[in-house]
């Protein structure tokens, strides 16, 4: 990971880092933003983690999406944070996706924040 993508010590900076990593097309950096046991709920009927999550991120990023996001609310207590994020992805030839995500972050022993739960459609 390059210094441009260093994990934050401030949980509220995670969304901006995620957007930069996503828009750079750097799959490895995007994946490094998650805890080892992270869960993504891109489909409420089928949460994914591990190798399945990695494959889904790679497949999605192959479409070269352009992301915008804004943190609407943030709550931090101890080693846990909740971010409420309005986001949009523009994908050439496919249109746009948007939603309000609920992201749960966990602070690691290194003092850095990572996604533990990624629920991009938390408002549904």
- Residue 95: its pLDDT value, please? 95
The total number of structural domains in the chain stands at 1
The CA–CA distances, whole Å, from 110 to 7, 9, 35, 114, 119 equal 10, 9, 12, 11, 24
Q: Within 13 Å, how many C-alpha atoms sit on residue 74's CB side?
A: 11
Q: What is the mean pLDDT of residues 98-103?
A: 96
Is the pLDDT at 1 greater than 80? The verdict is: no
Residue 124 lies in a domain: no
Residue 75 lies in a domain: yes
Residue 62 lies in a domain: yes
Residue 115 lies in a domain: yes
Q: What is the DSSP string of 36-102?
A: EEEEE-SSTT--B-HHHHHHHHHHHHTT--EEEEEEEEEEEETTEEEEEEEEEEEETTTEEEEEEEE
Tokens representing residue 87 in the block: 């986001």
Residue 108 lies in a domain: yes
**What CATH code is carried by the domain that includes residue 111?**
3.10.450.50
pTM equals: 0.91
The residue range of the domain holding 84 is 9-119
Q: What is the pLDDT of residues 35-85, one digit of tens each?
A: 999 999 988 899 999 999 999 999 999 999 999 999 999 999 999 999 999
Residue 1 lies in a domain: no
Residue 2 lies in a domain: no
Mean pLDDT of the chain, nearest integer: 93
Residue 4 lies in a domain: no
């Amino acid at each position: 990971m390059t210094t441009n993508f260093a994990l934050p010590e401030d949980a509220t900076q995670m969304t901006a880092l995620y957007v930069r990593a996503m828009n750079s097309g750097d799959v490895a950096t995007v994946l490094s933003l998650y805890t080892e046991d992270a869960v993504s709920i891109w489909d409420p009927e089928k949460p994914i983690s591990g190798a399945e999550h990695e494959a889904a991120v790679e497949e999605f990023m192959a479409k070269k999406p352009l992301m915008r996001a804004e943190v609407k609310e943030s709550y931090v207590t101890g080693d846990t944070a909740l971010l409420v994020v309005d986001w949009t992805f523009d994908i050439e030839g496919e249109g746009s996706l948007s939603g309000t995500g609920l992201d749960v972050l966990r602070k690691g022993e290194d003092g850095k924040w990572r996604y533990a739960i990624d629920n991009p459609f938390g408002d549904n």
